[in-house]
Structure formats: structure tokens, C-alpha cells
Amino acid sequence: MKRIKILSLILPLLALLFSSCSLETDNDAGKMEGMWHLVKIESVTSAASEELSEQVIFWSFQAKLLQMEDKTGQHYSYLYRFRIDNDQLTLTAPYQFDRKNGDRPLTVYESTLGLYGIKSITPVFRIEKIDRRNMILNDGVVRLYFDKF
């Protein structure tokens, strides 16, 4: 009888403990989850903009990883870890994505990142808009426009 009472106290506590754990695979992407087509890069400081709707440049968010990919295969793809805090998207730990030869960590900015709207090696974006169909990110230098794919 005493054993049953002890188990009836311990089992619920264990269940609460394990349910509150955060795993590496937990999905932190929220509304950003999925694939986004980069359709426009607009300069914040000038009237310059680059229309990309005919190109196949995508950002894909899953769990805590972001993959940036040119679907033509002509440019490198990149991986970032990301964090979303309120209306801020922070990208960290960049890698050049290469399944055949192994991913290579980036230690300096590569010009190919500009194709994806990335202007510094670890950018921080303000999330200006996000809904089921559109997303707008702003890092103070460029404003990136996306359509949900």
C-alpha cells in the first residue's frame, strides 16, 4: 500500500518533468515554418530594389534550422541556426551546405550570401510582417519580401 502511494506521487512528477523538457528537435519556427520564396530585395537607404520573383531563391525554416537555397543549383546553399524573439529573427552559426563533401562553417562573409539578401555573416532582422502568404524582414540595410511556397 505504501509503495502504491509513493508511485502515485512520483509518476506524475516524472511526467511533468519530462513534458517540460525542450529538445533540439522542438519546432521553434512558428509562423515561419516551411518554404519561403524570396521575391524582392529592397534597399532601406536608397530607392534601389532587385526583383527576384522569376528566380528560384528560397529560405526554408524547420525546427531551429534555416536553409537558403538557389533551386537552380548554380550557387552555394547555406544553413543557419535561428532564434525568434518577439519580432526579431537572429541568424547564427552559418555553414555552407554541401552534402557530398561535408558542411563547411563560415568564419567570414561570402559574397554569395548577398544573393539571399544577407549583408553580414550573422544578421539580425526585424520581422515587419508575417502571415500565411507573405513575410517581410528588415535588417536596417535591406528589406526582404517573401511569398509562402
Indicate whether 22 pLDDT > 50.
no
- The CATH code of the domain at 24-148 is 2.40.128.280
Helix, coil or strand: residue 31 = helix
10 Å CB burial of residue 38 (0-12, 13-18, 19+) is: buried
- Find out whether 50 and 39 touch, Cβ atoms under 8 Å: no
- The pLDDT tens digits for 34-90 are 999 999 999 998 989 999 999 999 999 999 999 999 999 899 999 999 999 999 999
Give the CA radius of gyration of the chain: 20
Q: What is the pLDDT of residue 10?
A: 52
Handedness of CA 110, 68, 122, 43 (dihedral sign): positive
Domain spans of the chain? 24-148
Integer CA distances (angstroms), 144 to 1, 38, 83, 139, in order = 65, 7, 18, 9
Query: Which one-letter DSSP state was computed for residue 18?
Result: H
Q: What is the pLDDT of residue 7?
A: 42
- Find out whether 109 and 115 touch, Cβ atoms under 8 Å: no
pTM across the whole model: 0.80
Indicate whether 128 pLDDT > 60.
yes
Q: From CA 145, how far away is CA 33, in angstroms rounded?
A: 16
Q: From CA 148, how far away is CA 136, in angstroms rounded?
A: 11
pLDDT band for position 100 (50/70/90)?
A: confident
